[in-house]
Amino acid sequence: MSHAPWQFLLTSSPAERRALLASTLGWMLDGMDVTLYAMVIAELLRELQLTPAQAGLLASLTLIASAAGGILFGVFADRAGRRRALMASILVYSVFTAACGFSRTVTELAVFRLLLGLGMGGEWATGAALVAETWRAEHRGKALGLMQSGFAIGYALAAVVTALVLPRWGWRAVFFVGLLPALVTLWIRRGVEESPLWAAQLPPRNATGRSASRPTLFQLGLASHYRRPILVTLLMNAAALFGWWGLFTWIPPYLALPPTQGGRGLTIAASSLWIVAMQAGMWLGYVTFGFVSDALGQKRTYVAYLLLAAALVPLYARAQAPASLFLLGPVVAFFGTGHFTGFGAITAELFPTSFRASAMGFTYNFGRALSAAAPWLMGWVAERRSLNSAFWISGLAFLVAGLLAVALPESKSRALA
C-alpha cells in the first residue's frame, strides 16, 4: 500500500516539522480559546441576561479587535521575526481568554474579548508566514493545510472542554482552561528556528550599528501592482469570513437552545458530539485542500469549495431531524472551512518576504473586521425570525466570496522571494 500522500512529512527537515508543529499548535489553541465563547453563549444568555443580538455583538467585537491584532503582529513579525510574534500572540489570547472567566458584567466581558482578539488576529498571520517561508514550494500547500486543520481540532477541543467542565464548574471555569496554550510558548522559544527567508533578508547594519529600516506594507504594498491583489483578497476573505463566523458562532447555541427559542433542543453532551463530528469534516477539508489543489490548481479548488459551501448551508438550515443535522454538518464544515488553506497558500505567493506577514495579516484580519457584523446580524435576524433563517445569510456570503475569487490570479507552487 502506498503512503505517497503523507510522504512529504517523512522527507521534511526537522526545522520544517518544528515550524509546522508550532504554528499548528498555536492555531489549534487559538481556535479552542475563541470557540469557548460560542460554546457558553446559551449560559451567558441566562446568567448575564444577554439578548441574542448582544451576544452576537460581543463576538463581533472580538473580530474587530482581531483586525488590529493582525496588522500589529504582522508588522511586528516583519520587523522582529516570525517566532517572537507567534509567541507573543499566543500569550495575549491565552491570558485574556482566562480573564473572561472573571467577568462580572457585560462591559468587563466585552473588554476581555477585545483584548483576546488582538492575539487571535496575530497568530494566523505569523504562523502562516513561518510555515510558508520554511517549507519547500512543492509541499507548501499541504503543510499550510495541516496548519489550518489545527483550528478544527481546537474547535472540537472547545466542545469537549465545555462538555466536561461546564456541568461541573460552570461557564467561568470553561474560560480558565483557555490559559493552558500559554505553555506552548516555552517550547517554541527553545525548539523552533526563525524563518530562514526572514533571517536572510535582514537589512545590513549602518555605521551606528543599527539595522536599516525595512520597506513596509504601506510603503511598497500599496504600490500600483500590489493594490489589486490586496483589494481582491481582502474583500474575498471578508465575504468568506462573514459566512464562516456567522454560521459557526451560532451553530452551538442553535443545537443547544430549546425549539421555543429557535434551536434544536439537544443536550450539552449531544450538541458537543454533533460539533465534534462537524470538526472532523472541517479537519478533512483543511488537510485535503492541498492535495486537491495539487491536481486541479489552487484557484479552481478555492472557488469550488466556496460555491459548494454556498449551496450546502441552505440545506443545513432547512434540516429538521437531529440525524440530518449530524450527517450534513461535517459536509458543510468540509467545504465551508477547507478553503482557508487556499487563502494562506495564495497570499503567501502574492507578496514578498519584506512585508509578507504584514500583507497576510492585513488582508486576512481586516477582512475579518469587515465580517465582524455577521454574528450580530444573525443574532438580530434570529430575534425577529429564527436562527435557521439567519443561516441563509452565511450561504449568500460564501457565494459572494466564490464569485470574487474568480478575479484572483492563477496560483502555482513556486519558490518564495
Domain at 15-198+216-405, CATH class: mainly alpha
C-beta of residue 267 within 8 angstroms of C-beta of residue 318: no
Is pLDDT of 313 > 70?
Answer: yes
CA atoms within 13 A on the CB side of 6: 5
Is pLDDT of 323 > 70?
Answer: yes
**What's residue 262's pLDDT?**
65
What is the distance between the alpha carbons of residues 147 and 384, in angstroms, rounded to a whole number?
39
**What's residue 416's pLDDT?**
53
Name the residue with higher pLDDT: 113 or 264.
113
Distance of CA 385 to the CA centre of its chain: 29
What is the distance between the alpha carbons of residues 243 and 28, in angstroms, rounded to a whole number?
20
The continuous run of DSSP H or E covering 158 comes out as: helix 140-169
What is the distance between the alpha carbons of residues 286 and 155, in angstroms, rounded to a whole number?
13
- Model confidence pLDDT, tens digit, residues 213-242: 555 555 544 555 677 777 888 888 889 989
Residue written as grid cell 504594498: 221
Q: How confident is the model at residue 353 (pLDDT cuts 50, 70, 90)?
A: low
**What's residue 306's pLDDT?**
94
**Stretch 280-308: mean pLDDT:** 85
Residue written as grid cell 476581555: 112
Residue 90 dihedral angles phi and psi, to the nearest 5°? -65, -40
Q: How many CB atoms lie within 10 A of CB 160?
A: 16
Is pLDDT of 2 > 50?
Answer: no
DSSP, res 48: S
Average pLDDT, the chain: 79
For the chain, give every domain's residue range.
15-198+216-405
C-beta of residue 275 within 8 angstroms of C-beta of residue 255: yes
User: Could you give the residue ranges of the DSSP H alpha helices within 257-321?
Assistant: 268-296, 298-318
What is the distance between the alpha carbons of residues 221 and 215, in angstroms, rounded to a whole number?
9
Q: How many CB atoms lie within 10 A of CB 219?
A: 12
Q: Is 415 helix (H, G, I), strand (E, B) or coil?
A: coil
Put simply, whether the predicted model's pTM sits higher than 0.75 gets the answer no
CA distances from 33 to 12, 75, 94, 139, 370 (A): 30, 24, 7, 29, 21
Q: Best-predicted range by mean pLDDT among 57-66, 136-145, 173-182, 201-210?
A: 173-182
- Model confidence pLDDT, tens digit, residues 18-35: 888 888 888 888 888 778
What is the distance between the alpha carbons of residues 289 and 305, in angstroms, rounded to a whole number?
9
**What's residue 206's pLDDT?**
46
Bridge partners of residue 205, in order along the sequence = 211
